[in-house]
């Protein structure tokens, strides 16, 4: 993405979240898709090829993905605290937008 992306609002529901960005676009994103986009050193390499991604998806689908805790990291990202699984990845606002555009549903 060429220009800066700013997340202005995050609403967390039981199975999905709604992300609103500065440009007015909003997305509904399932927690499974959010968890699959984790950029940490443990999860990132599991997204590098199709076979590893399939295995990672199967593992995540077996986990109980309750609504994660969300913590603002500076002015550029969020850290999600998953009750079962990783909690070390920092999701930049740019990454959240990419995941939302790829796997979320536009709601406006």
Q: pLDDT tens for residues 65-83?
A: 778 999 999 999 999 998 7
Average pLDDT in the chain: 90
Please name which of 19, 1, 2, 15 lies closest in space to residue 78, comparing C-alpha atoms.
19
Mean pLDDT on 77-104? 91
9, 77 contact by CB (below 8 A) = no
Please tell me the distance from the alpha carbon of residue 42 to that of residue 101, in angstroms, as a whole number: 24
**Domain spans of the chain, in order of start:** 7-106
Backbone angles phi, psi at 82, to 5 degrees: -85, 135
Please name which of 106, 108, 89 lies closest in space to residue 34, comparing C-alpha atoms.
89
Residue 1: is its pLDDT beyond 60?
A: no
Mean pLDDT on 93-100? 97
Query: What CATH architecture is 7-106?
Result: 2-Layer Sandwich (3.30)
Please classify residue 27 by burial: count the beta carbons closer than 10 Å to its beta carbon, then call 0-12 exposed, 13-18 middle and 19+ buried.
Answer: buried
Mean pLDDT on 18-25? 96
Mean pLDDT on 45-73? 88
Residue 2: is its pLDDT beyond 70?
A: no
66, 4 contact by CB (below 8 A) = no
Neighbours of 34 (CB within 10 A): 24
């Amino acid at each position: 993405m060429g220009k800066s992306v700013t997340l202005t609002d995050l609403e967390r529901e039981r199975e999905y979240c709604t992300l609103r960005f500065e440009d007015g676009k909003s997305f509904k994103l399932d927690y499974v898709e959010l968890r699959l986009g984790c950029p940490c050193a443990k999860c990132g390499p599991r997204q590098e090829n199709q076979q590893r991604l399939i295995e990672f998806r199967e593992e995540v689908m077996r986990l109980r993905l309750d609504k994660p805790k969300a913590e603002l990291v500076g002015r550029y990202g969020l850290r999600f605290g998953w009750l079962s699984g990783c909690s070390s990845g920092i999701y930049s606002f740019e990454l959240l937008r990419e995941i939302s555009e790829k796997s979320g549903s536009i709601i406006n």
